[in-house]
Amino acid sequence: MCRFDEAGEYQMKDSNPKKTTRPGSVDEYLSALPEEKRAALEKLRKIIKSVVPDATEVISYQIPVFKYKGRPLVGFGAAKNHCSFYIMSSAVTKAHKDDLKSYDTSVGTIRFPATKPLPATLVTKVVKARIAENNVRDV
C-alpha cells in the first residue's frame, strides 16, 4: 500500500499503520503506485533503459534512480498531484529550457501529469545530455 505525505511525496506503508517502509526495488516502488502514475513512470523507465541499457537501477533517497558508471544519471518519482523526472543537473535543465518551456520545472526536475507522459524524444535528449555530462566528469 502507498500514500503521500504532507509534502506530497510518495511513501509506502506496511501493515502497521504507524510505520512507513521504504521500497526495496524499482519494481516494488512502481507496484505500490496508482495505475495511472505507474503506467506513466513505467513508460519513462522503458525509454531511459532504451537509451542507456547498461545503467543500473537503484532506490536512492526513496526514489528510483539510474546510475551510469557508478554515478547517478536520472531518476523518477510520483507525488500526490504529478510525476517527476529528476534529471539531476541544473546545466542540462538550462541547456534544454526551450524544450522544457511547456513543463513545470525546477533545478534538475521536470514535473508532469500522469495523464500526459513525457515524449520519448525529450527523455532521450535529456538522458543523452546527462550521459555526456557524466562522461566529461570522468576525463
**Is it the case that residue 111 has pLDDT exceeding 80?**
yes
Residue 65 domain-assigned? yes
Domain count within the chain = 1
Domain boundaries, position 101: 35-134
Cα distance between residue 48 and residue 57, in whole Å? 11
- The number of angstroms, rounded, from the C-alpha of 101 to the middle of its chain's C-alpha atoms is 19
Residue 113 domain-assigned? yes
pTM over 0.95: no
**Share of the chain residues as helix, strand and coil, in percent rounded to the nearest 5:** 35, 30, 35
**Is it the case that residue 7 has pLDDT exceeding 90?**
no
78-100 tens-digit pLDDT: 999 999 999 999 999 999 999 99
Residue 51 domain-assigned? yes
Residue 11 domain-assigned? no
Residue 129 domain-assigned? yes
**Is it the case that residue 22 has pLDDT exceeding 90?**
no
Residue 122 domain-assigned? yes
Percent of the chain residues past pLDDT 90, beyond the cut: 77
CATH number at residue 55: 3.90.1150.200
Cα distance between residue 74 and residue 26, in whole Å? 13
pLDDT at 94: 94
Residue 19 domain-assigned? no
Counting every residue written for the chain, the total comes to 139
Residue 9 domain-assigned? no
pLDDT at 1: 41
